[in-house]
Chains A and B, each alone.
Chain A
Amino acid sequence: MSTVTFRVFRGDRSGGELKDYTVEVQEGMVVLDVIHQIQAEQAPDLACRWNCKAGKCGSCGAEVNGKPTLMCMTRLDTIDTSKPVTVRPMKTFPVIRDLATDVKWNYEANKKIKPFTPSPNTDWIMFQEDVDRVQEFRKCIECFLCQNVCHVLREHDEKTGFIGPRLLVRTASLEMHPLDTANRLEMLKNEGGIGYCNITKCCTEVCPEHIHITDNAIIPLKERVVDEYYDPVLGFFRRLFSSKKRAEPSGQAADD
């Protein structure tokens, strides 16, 4: 048992400040445990979003000592507790109160993505090796930490012309689904704003599910957009031979 000071953001849309709380901590505790302890004993109105406390729901993203992370998966013995530990809400989204942010934008931007559109005559046979990549993308728990660190959203606040890494991953999960037939390349090029991404891989670094966001999702999608819109030869053949989005009916990513 030892004593640690936590410096937690208290405030709302109009502003706020860091407030110090001193707590007794025990072996194995995570940051979210500390926030709950502060709620129960010192500040019952301290707002914080959480659900599963096991890294499965992606609700409790915050910035601990400046590092975007899930509070439920951040053990105190992995951070420096000899100095006050700072806990702030995700910066990219408007604060509702304290550590809870308004992430509604993600749900709105998601509507730009054409839904799953299976081929009408499929027998639903898919092999494991053909779905491994899609399953990687579908591990996403929508914690929005990738959106939070993406500089296009965080520094430039480009929320109208760019959908951000989370939604690029979702687009990839559909585009690379072996049985999907829709074409999302125009969306990616225009309102999806995939061109804004300059592959700094900040998103990949914070992903708690270790999805290779940049390498496996964004770069292959960028290549598809380039092939479609900027390569006249490939574009010609595609228009000539295929009414579907890919020449290969299996839709297997050519660049895997």
Chain B
Amino acid sequence: MESYTTYDYDVLVIGAGGAGLRAAIAAIEKGARVGVVTKSLLGKAHTVMAEGGMAAAMGNVRPEDNWKVHFRDTLKGGGMLNNWKMVENYTKEAPDRVRELEQWGAVFDRTPDGRINQRNFGGHSYPRLAHVGDRTGLELIRTLQDHAVKMGIHAHMETTIYRLLTDAGRVVGALGFNRQTGEFLVFRAKAVVLATGGLGRIYQITSNSWECTGDGFSLASMVGADLIDMEFIQFHPTGMVWPPSVMGILVTEGVRGEGGVLKNSLGQRFMFDNVPERYKGEFAETEEEAERWLQGDRNARRPPELLTRDVVARAIRKEVNEGRGSPHGGAFLDIASRRPADYIKKKLPSMYHQFMKLGNLDITKEPMEVGPTCHYVMGGVRVDPDTQATNVPGLYAAGEVAGGLHGANRLGGNSLSDLVVFGRRAGLAAAEYAAQQTGSYQVDEAQVQAYIAEALQPFHNPQGENPFALMKELRSTMQKNAGIMREEGELKTQLEILENLKKRAWNTSVSGGRAYNPGWHTALDIRLMVEISQAVVLAALARKESRGGHARLDYPDPDPTFAKLNHIIRRSPDGSLSVVAEPLPEMPEELRKVAEAKDLKELSDKVGA
């Protein structure tokens, strides 16, 4: 029998990025005893890497902006598959959540009249992103961290959750271990909030840190929670492509927001030729018009470099495939010829630093080379749009691990504000639910011991495989067979590969002790990663069309039938996953008009400025 330490909480929050910390703060404010578990140290979660900004229709730069325009932009960018109610909640609340951060100590860049400045980003009709240079995620996480410490947060740092614990169909806690010591921990909790972030590490080329192994999707699915729309993976158009060791590291969309342009090897701004039908008429049609926009002419339309990420990523891929790519297989991103060096260093300091240090390149003098990198998953655990509750009692999800808000494609800047809007909602709802739980609940000792035994199994399996090699195999095959462009044959091949990897994931071998052992951690990560990869591939096979972050070579166009369907990925009692198509929730007529508005003036309370 393995020993373990037990902690009791009303609400256990798994993850200490933006959503987790905001959930913890909300739950503490409700009087709940809250524990937060994080795989890293406090303040290091993947949120810290967010660069460009957080979208909220505050109207500080363009007073015509309001939640309705943001609502319309978000649905349009999401291929109309978004959960409309989540988008409504989100766009209405985001400005308050940004202001709240300021009141907790965040120091955003300012407008000339001393208010929070907002910048342009892809798919947003107006400058809408509150930002701090290109390190907005750091500002967000540090502010939430400081505020959570002020509130008396109880954080378990460098702790991994291995499995959720259930009793009679309810989630009643989680089993984890301290990464520093290898000691097992049982968290008994009346409610659990998943805020575990994304799954970028299932791909070879990704902007995501090691933490983004998709834990939350698998943990939730294993206890019966539905997942939604897992086929929609965002490949950010601009990741670094050279040198090889930095491939995939993010280059903020803020570069294009600040006027950066994309060119192919012939020097052509190819985005002018890649405006999709649904965006026709909304973007500048000549370089001259785009130039006027950059100079501040409000009658000029936005440059096509500011199209949504799915569109730009595919356009770059096309240039490369047709032989017009940059020397290392990307496109050129040029800010040097557009803005003075001092301006670039002020507004994009970490990009300057990153290319200088890692790529030996001065972005104030030369263009960058960029290409698509796996960045975000739009799909996730299916939640109630108001409470973030899953279909499993006691289990909530917020942030990237939750699905529904972003539909088929997320707009840049919509993630950071998603974290705080829905982190707060999840924390409040979880605390309320916990307060109502008066009956006794049990943690099943046999369940705990069985999980511990399987977690320790790689130590007793000397003939097993190297977990790092297995991880590499998973990531490279997902990249090849279920990446930015997909087709049926490759997806089916990948399903077979995953079946095989799944068996092998349970037959790994690790050496050394339990304290801070990356081999062991990798061996456990891979089990969850295989599960979630399977959900992605199954959903991708089922969606026989191209929309947003899901592009099929064999079905290159959007299909009106699929335009009305979400995919629910459900686990059967025998453990297998299946995909069920469900009609989208019906949007009220009034909101439909907002979503489909052609002329933004219809949506503005105030016109002009």
Chain A positions near chain B (C-beta within 8 angstroms): 12, 26-30, 33, 39-41, 44-59, 73, 75, 96-98, 100, 102-104, 107, 110-111, 115-116, 118, 124-128, 131, 134-135, 138-139, 141-142, 174, 177
In contact, A50 and B109 (Cβ under 8 angstroms): no
Task: Report how far A50 CA is from B209 CA in the complex, Å.
Answer: 9
In the complex, identify which listed stretch (B80-88, B245-253, B291-299, B538-546) lies at the interface while the others stay far away.
Answer: B245-253
Chain A residues near B113: list those with CB within 8 A.
125
> 6 A–B contact pairs at CB < 8 A?
A45-B517, A55-B353, A57-B44, A58-B44, A115-B146, A135-B133
Binary contact track B347-363/A, C-beta < 8 Å → 1, others 0: 00110011001110000
On chain B, the residues within 8 Å of A116 by CB distance are: 104-105, 146, 150
Distance between B81 CB and nearest chain A CB, rounded to angstroms? 30
Nearest CB on A from B137, distance (A) = 8
Contacts of A96 in B (CB 8 A): 180, 515-516
Instruction: For the complex, give the distance between the alpha carbons of A130 and B112 in Å.
Output: 12
Complex contacts, A54 vs chain B, CB 8 Å: 49, 246, 249-250, 354, 358
B104 touches A52 (CB 8 A): no
| Cβ-neighbour of B135 out of A40, A41, A139 (below 8 A) | A139
Given A50-B210, A51-B40, A124-B99, CB of A56 within 8 Å of CB of B48: yes
- The chain B residue sitting closest to A210, CB to CB, is B353
Which residues of B, 205-262, contact A by the 8 Å Cβ criterion?
209-211, 242-246, 249-250
Q: Which of B4-54 contact A (CB under 8 A)?
A: 40-46, 48-49
Q: Are A73 and B138 in contact (CB under 8 A)?
A: no
A residues less than 8 Å from B584 (CB atoms): none
The residue among B146, B467, B518 with the most chain A CB atoms within 10 A of its own CB is: B518
Chain B residues whose C-beta falls within 8 Å of the C-beta of A41 in the assembled complex = 468
Tell me if B369 is interfacial: C-beta within 8 Å of chain A.
no
Q: Closest B residue to A27 by CB, please name it.
A: B243
Q: B49: which A residues are within 8 A, CB to CB? A: 52, 54, 56-57
Does B1 touch A at the CB level, under 8 Å?
A: no
Count of inter-chain pairs, beta carbons less than 8 A? 166
A195 CA to B471 CA, complexed, in Å: 51
List the 10 closest A-B pairs by CB distance, nearest first.
A28-B243, A45-B512, A44-B519, A116-B105, A125-B114, A40-B468, A47-B516, A115-B150, A97-B516, A128-B110
- In the complex, A97→B518 CA distance in Å? 11
Complex CA gap A107/B519 in Å reads: 27
Q: Is the CB of B245 within 8 A of A26?
A: yes
For B517, give the chain A residue with the smallest CB separation: A45
In whole Å, how far is A72's beta carbon from the nearest beta carbon of chain B? 9
Question: Which residue on A lies nearest to B250, using beta carbons?
Answer: A54
Q: Are A100 and B516 in contact (CB under 8 A)?
A: yes
Q: Which residues of A contact B353 (CB under 8 A)?
A: 55
Partner of A73, one of B142, B147, B358, B517: B358
With A28-B359, A134-B107 already in contact, 5 other A-B pairs whose C-beta atoms are closer than 8 Å: A26-B243, A44-B511, A52-B44, A52-B209, A104-B157
B-chain residues with CB within 8 Å of residue A141 when the two chains form the complex: 48, 138
Measured in the bound complex, the distance between the Cα atoms of B40 and A57 in whole Å is: 10
CB contacts (< 8 Å) of A49 on chain B: these are 40-41
- A111 surroundings in chain B (CB, below 8 A): 149
**Cα–Cα, bound, A152→B244 (Å):** 40
B194 at the interface (CB under 8 A from A): no
Name the interface residues of B344-388: CB closer than 8 Å to any CB of A. Answer: 349-350, 353-354, 357-359
Whether B515 pairs with A177 at a CB distance below 8 angstroms is no
Give chain A's interface secondary structure class: loop
Q: A51-B46, A51-B211 are in contact. Are A28 and B518 (CB under 8 A)?
A: no
Interfacial chain B residues near A27, Cβ < 8 Å: 243-244
Q: Tell me the bound Cα distance from A73 to B99 in angstroms.
A: 34
B103 at the interface (CB under 8 A from A): yes
Residues of A contacting B114 in the complex (Cβ-Cβ under 8 angstroms):
125-127
Name the one of B105, B107, B350, B510 contacting A44, with C-beta atoms under 8 angstroms: B510
A134 to B46, CA, bound (A): 23
Across-interface contacts of B112 in A (CB, < 8 A): 128
What CA separation (Å) do A56 and B137 show in the bound complex? Answer: 10
Interface residue? B307 (CB, 8 A): no
A45-B518 contact, Cβ under 8 Å, with A54-B250, A116-B104: yes
Task: Answer whether residue B400 sits at the interface, using C-beta atoms and an 8 A cutoff.
Answer: no
**CB-contact partner of B105 in A12, A51, A100, A177, under 8 A:** A177
Is the Cβ of A53 less than 8 Å from the Cβ of B249? yes
Q: Is the CB of A138 within 8 A of B132?
A: yes
Q: Which of B48, B357, B516 contacts A57 (CB 8 A)?
A: B48
Closest to A33 in B: B245
Q: Is the CB of B516 within 8 A of A128?
A: no
CA distance A145 to B358 in the complex (A): 20
Min C-beta distance of A171 to chain B, whole Å = 12
Q: Which of B358, B472, B517 contacts A40 (CB 8 A)?
A: B472
How far, in angstroms, from A104 to B517 measured CA to CA in the complex? 19
A26 to B244, CA, bound (A): 8
- Report the separation of the CA atoms of residues A28 and B243 in the bound assembly, to the nearest whole angstrom: 5
List of B residues within 8 angstroms of A127 by Cβ:
110, 114
Known A56-B350, A128-B110: A44·B466 in contact at CB below 8 Å: yes
User: CA–CA, A75 to B242, complex, Å?
Assistant: 13
Residues of B within 8 A of A128 (CB): 109-110, 112
Asked if B469 is at the interface of the complex by the 8 Å CB criterion, the answer is: yes
Tell whether A131 pairs with B107 under 8 Å between CB atoms, given A44-B511, A56-B350, A138-B132: yes
Quick one: given A47-B517, A110-B149, are A30 and B245 in contact (CB under 8 Å)?
yes
Asked whether any CB of chain A lies closer than 8 Å to the CB of B513, the reply is yes
Task: Answer yes or no: B288 CB below 8 A from chain A CBs.
Answer: no
CB closest residue in chain B, given A137: B107
Closest chain A residue, CB of each to CB of B133:
A135
Asked if B115 is at the interface (CB within 8 A of a chain A CB), the reply is yes
Q: Is B102 an interface residue (CB 8 A)?
A: yes
CB atoms of A28 and B244 under 8 A apart: yes
A138 neighbours in B (Cβ, 8 Å): 107, 132, 138-139, 142
With a cutoff of 8 Å between Cβ atoms, the chain A residues found around residue B358 in the complex are 28, 30, 54, 73, 75
A138–B139 Cα distance when bound, in Å, is 7
Separation of A124 and B108 alpha carbons in the complex (Å) = 11
The answer on a CB contact under 8 Å between B44 and A51 is yes
Which one of B149, B180, B469 lies within 8 Å of A102 (CB-CB)?
A: B180
Identify A48's interface contact among B142, B244, B518, CB under 8 A.
Answer: B518
- State whether A125 touches B44 (Cβ < 8 A): no
Interfacial chain B residues near A52, Cβ < 8 Å: 44, 46, 48-49, 209
Task: Return chain A residues, CB-CB under 8 Å to B468.
Answer: 39-41, 44
Cα of A116 to Cα of B210 in the assembled complex, Å = 32
Which chain A residues border B249 with CB–CB below 8 Å?
Answer: 53-54
Complex contacts, A39 vs chain B, CB 8 Å:
468, 518-519
The answer to whether B107 touches A45, judged by C-beta atoms less than 8 angstroms apart, is no
1/0 per residue, CB under 8 A from A, across B305-339: the answer is 00000000000000000000000000000000000
B139 partner residues in chain A, CB cutoff 8 A: 138
Chain B: minimal CB distance from A78 (Å) = 9
What's the least CB distance linking B460 to chain A, in Å? Answer: 15
Could you say which of A56, A102, A107 contacts B42, with CB atoms under 8 Å apart? Answer: A107
CA distance A144 to B150 in the complex (A): 21
In the bound complex, residues from chain A placing their C-beta under 8 Å from that of B519 are: 39, 44-45
CA–CA, A39 and B521, complex, Å: 12
CA–CA, A226 and B602, complex, Å: 60
Contact between A56 and B138, CB atoms less than 8 A apart: yes
B contact residues around A98 at 8 Å (CB)? 516
